[in-house]
Structure 1
Amino acid sequence: MVPTHPDVAALTERVQALMLEHKVPGVALGLIVDGEAHTAAFGVTNAEHPLPVTEDTLFQIGSITKTYTALALMRLVERSELDLDTPIRLHLPEFRLVDEEVAARVTLRHLLTHTGSWPGDFFEKQGDGDDALARYVARMADLEQTLPLGEVYSYNNAGFALAGRLLEVRTGQSVEAAIRDLVLQPLGLQASFFFPNEVMTRRFAVGHFELERGAEPVVARDWYVGRYAAAMGGLVTSVTDQLRYARFWLNGGVSETGERLLSPATIAQMREPYLPASPVASIGLAWHVRDVDGVQLMSHGGGTNGQIAQLTLAPEHGVAVSVLTNALNGSELVTALLGEVLERLLGVKVPAPEPLTLSPEDLEPYAGRYRGRPNGEIFEFRPANGGLILEFSPGDYSAFADRPAPPPVPPRQVALTSERTFVITEGEGKGAQGEFLRDASGAVRWVRAGRVLERIDPA
């Protein structure tokens, strides 16, 4: 489609420049502006077997799937078949964690707000049968608490797998069938799928990564995320279907055919900030929400093995942007493009964080190693150049065939922007922000970059 809206035309040109800059093989862009949908597609689906990306090409959207899972669950809440604040043991009496007291108190609200606070990046395939998710949830019995239940946001994939299992039990269907019946079909999302045999007969994108910074993209394998991950990140869709889904949220819970799936009160509840999730955003029910110069945004990103996606909405302004890429470094393209979308279409500019230059003595409280669980990834910070050098070790992914260890990441320069927050100023992920969290004594105990990692020793 050739864009006629001048701002949309400028943004599509910008995508092409960013693709070349970041060596992203393929991108699909979707925008809703002034009530009109615009799509554009660039590049190829696969560096080894290239086909042109089109508006109908299917991409993995990863964790954007969590908003579909939440929508399905909130439809059951509105029907009084579920409750946000009732312990899920009412429906899943077999659910176990290492901490029995926590397992007995976990609610759907904890799951949808990422406040379960057990290790969330627990990835373990359990086969392709209809019992895969039940088997996965049973394995959660080995997960220990990282933080107290309900008090701190820490991104939690395992929590959404558990939410998917709750959906299965309450509907008597597989999670894929439940999301299809409660979300995909009512919204007319005919190009949205979970299973490889549904995708492989259509044009679809494969993931890519760089073996080293600046190298040509290499195809990432495995492609399929596995049935255990359906509710947390298994959906495959087109940019056209993403815009149809976005329009539902812009319309306040009403599909394009006029069917109301959620009440205005529930939509408002899902957009309401619940807890801080980062230096710039809070978590609602599944959605990340933030205010940029008076403009309310709701968004979610997604990443699989070599694919990065982003969906951002400004409901009060009728604006939506969907970006689908087939490269890990598509995250850098997405970050750059979203800033320009907000400025061109909404007239707001995301304020750049202001780095502080501090002495080694001022930086010493933050220096040290921080470990994630259950895979043991390490963030190590050490003072340098008036800020901190961040070195990342990926941990052990050997047990998870669908989640190979990422390629090595060179050390990155980090600057504090307050006594709590920091920004990456040089290197991979430049512009990304995180924060240090303190314990009751005031000592720096954790670092949060989406997930919370616990300090294990000083540098």
Structure 2
Amino acid sequence: MDTTALEARLAGLLAEYRIPGASVGLLRDGEVTDFALGVADVTTGEPVTTGTAFQIGSLTKTWTAVTFLRFVEEGKAALDEPVRAFLPGFKVADPEVSAKVTPRHLLNHTHGIEEDFGDPGEDDDVYERMVAGIAGAPQVHPLGHTHGYSAALGYAILARVMEVIDGRPWDDILTDRLVRPLGLSRTSSRRELADPARIATGHLVRSPDEGPIVSPLSHLPRLFGPSGTMTSTPREVLALARLLLDEGMAADGTRILSPGLVREMTGSRVPLPEPYSLGREWALGLLADTWSGVEVYGHDGSTIGHNARLRILPELGLAVAMTVNGGPRDGFYRRAMSEILTSVGAPAVPDLPAPDPTLRLDPGRYTGRYERPGLRYDVGSRDGTLTLSFHLNPMEAEFLGRPDRIDYDLLPVSETHFVTRSPDPLEDPQVVALYDFQDGKARYLHTNSRVTPRAAPAAGW
């Protein structure tokens, strides 16, 4: 593969979106091509190389899912046994959920448990403390009722199950059961175990004029471990993709998973209420979608200043991993990933849907407050147009130099889906789902794969 022209196009996109550096890997018919662009740190000018590791954020969840399935393979765990079969003291506020939630609910983000676990600290007992801390956690939605992405809790519970089965800390389990068998040297779940000289620095953009600045948060706390603290390179992420393409076999012939469990991982799916941004369905640790008739799997990951994307197209024997030390910007991902895919004859990433100006909707079905701890949206109406107000954390707003409330127009695509419109050039359009109507009013707001329930009657907001 001649990457010269592709690198030039991606370099232009990096400059346009103010992203300092990127690393890309493409796996095609068993062969990996990788290349790097830009700088790893704007303050030093150190160039990104193909050996530079990036924080891959929630792409960690795919690694955790495969690790858990290794226990299922051995008969030591099961997808549909209650979590209480492995953690007898497991408890949340809802007694039925306490008794019935399973690893499958955790893997596909349908458990509905609020991320209310307190401060579990940074020690080796962090996941044990998280599980103990949710004894009074309420439900965001009933068990299995809808998809709602769990940023940290669901996969922390899975990690604790594995710790109880194995008798060792989660990080050791991941290393011994997946990282080492795949022969990886630059992949780690804990920052202190990785070489800091080989890790890109995260960056944020507060304004187009200022350009990228170093992120104030160098890494995520340990509570995100099984959900988002891994660092890796695109080439090593593609070792995991190869495992899924080759029905559970590592590149050296080591059997990691059986073909049947790989099919279970990719084939056990629940629908996403908002199917345009990430994909139509969520499998076990993977997104699932179809682009121009071609099946696609993958996962995304973001930390404060890093972003990673993995897309696997099994019918084409193809996978792409892309890491950047800026963003996340959805527009950059769509354009850059499309450039990479179309350069090898694969379909481009689908565009977001266009609003339908002919739709005339009753605002009363949608208006109201949607809220959960630390997250609040107000849906209102102005001159017949629905509006969305998102309330930022005050500290985040101050650092980014933004107001603590951001307002968007909601332009209808259908009776349940809307595209946001913002005057801010740093804001990419997003799709919002308002759905699951009861007594004529939407019960949930779903965007960026997160679900937020209606908190109050529409009147008065």
User: Under a length normalisation based on structure 1, what TM-score does the superposition of the two structures give?
Assistant: 0.90
In structure 2, the residue matched to 1:339 is 338
- Does residue 134 (structure 1) correspond to residue 128 (structure 2)? The answer is yes
Alpha-carbon distance, 1:366 to partner: 2.2
Alpha-carbon distance, 1:351 to partner: 4.9
In structure 1, the residue matched to 2:441 is 443
What are the residue-to-residue correspondences of 1:72-91 with 2, within 5 Å? 72-91=67-86
| 2:142 match: secondary structure | coil
In structure 1, the residue matched to 2:34 is 39
**C-alpha spacing 1:124/1:20, structure 2 compared with 1 (3 Å):** farther
Alpha-carbon distance, 1:364 to partner: 4.2
In structure 2, the residue matched to 1:381 is 379
After superposition, what is the alpha-carbon deviation per residue over 1:47-102, rounded to whole angstroms, capped at 9, x for unaligned? 22331111111111010000111101101101110011111111111222111221
Separation in structure 2 between the aligned mates of residue 434 and residue 13 of structure 1, nearest angstrom: 34
Which is further off, 344-353 or 133-142? 344-353
**C-alpha spacing 1:261/1:145, structure 2 compared with 1 (3 Å):** same
Separation in structure 2 between the aligned mates of residue 216 and residue 124 of structure 1, nearest angstrom: 35
Identity of aligned residues (%): 30
In structure 1, the residue matched to 2:178 is 183
Alpha-carbon distance, 1:411 to partner: 3.2
The answer to whether the Cα contact below 8 Å between 2:20 and 2:38 also exists between their aligned partners in 1 is yes
Of the three residues 228, 233, 236, the one matched with 2:231 is 236
Number of equivalenced pairs: 447
| 1:28 match: secondary structure | strand
Root mean square deviation of aligned Cα: 2.5
The answer to whether the Cα contact below 8 Å between 1:422 and 1:434 also exists between their aligned partners in 2 is yes
Alpha-carbon distance, 1:11 to partner: 3.1
In structure 2, the residue matched to 1:68 is 63
- Does residue 148 (structure 1) correspond to residue 175 (structure 2)? The answer is no
In structure 2, the residue matched to 1:206 is 201
What are the residue-to-residue correspondences of 1:336-415 with 2, within 5 Å? 336-349=335-348, 350-357=350-357, 362-371=362-371, 373-375=372-374, 377-383=375-381, 387-395=385-393, 408=402, 410-415=406-411
In structure 2, the residue matched to 1:321 is 320
In structure 1, the residue matched to 2:98 is 103
After superposition, what is the alpha-carbon deviation per residue over 1:1-48, rounded to whole angstroms, capped at 9, x for unaligned? xxxx25x44432222111111101111111123433111111112222
In structure 2, the residue matched to 1:59 is 54
The answer to whether the Cα contact below 8 Å between 2:206 and 2:400 also exists between their aligned partners in 1 is no
The answer to whether the Cα contact below 8 Å between 2:18 and 2:205 also exists between their aligned partners in 1 is no
In structure 2, the residue matched to 1:420 is 416
Separation in structure 2 between the aligned mates of residue 345 and residue 442 of structure 1, nearest angstrom: 48
User: Under a length normalisation based on structure 2, what TM-score does the superposition of the two structures give?
Assistant: 0.90
**C-alpha spacing 1:165/1:440, structure 2 compared with 1 (3 Å):** same
Alpha-carbon distance, 1:358 to partner: 5.5
The answer to whether the Cα contact below 8 Å between 1:423 and 1:433 also exists between their aligned partners in 2 is yes
Which is further off, 167-176 or 323-332? 323-332
- Does residue 275 (structure 1) correspond to residue 270 (structure 2)? The answer is yes
Which is further off, 91-100 or 425-434? 425-434
Alpha-carbon distance, 1:396 to partner: 6.9
| 1:353 match: secondary structure | coil
Q: Which ranges of structure 2 fall in alignment gaps of 5 or more residues?
A: none
In structure 2, the residue matched to 1:306 is 305
Alpha-carbon distance, 1:304 to partner: 0.9
Q: Which ranges of structure 1 fall in alignment gaps of 5 or more residues?
A: none
The answer to whether the Cα contact below 8 Å between 2:7 and 2:37 also exists between their aligned partners in 1 is no
Which is further off, 441-450 or 204-213? 204-213
Separation in structure 2 between the aligned mates of residue 276 and residue 252 of structure 1, nearest angstrom: 24
Separation in structure 1 between the aligned mates of residue 358 and residue 382 of structure 2, nearest angstrom: 9
Separation in structure 2 between the aligned mates of residue 26 and residue 180 of structure 1, nearest angstrom: 28
The answer to whether the Cα contact below 8 Å between 1:386 and 1:415 also exists between their aligned partners in 2 is no
**C-alpha spacing 1:31/1:412, structure 2 compared with 1 (3 Å):** farther
Query: 1:378 is matched by which residue type in structure 2?
Result: R
Alpha-carbon distance, 1:255 to partner: 0.4
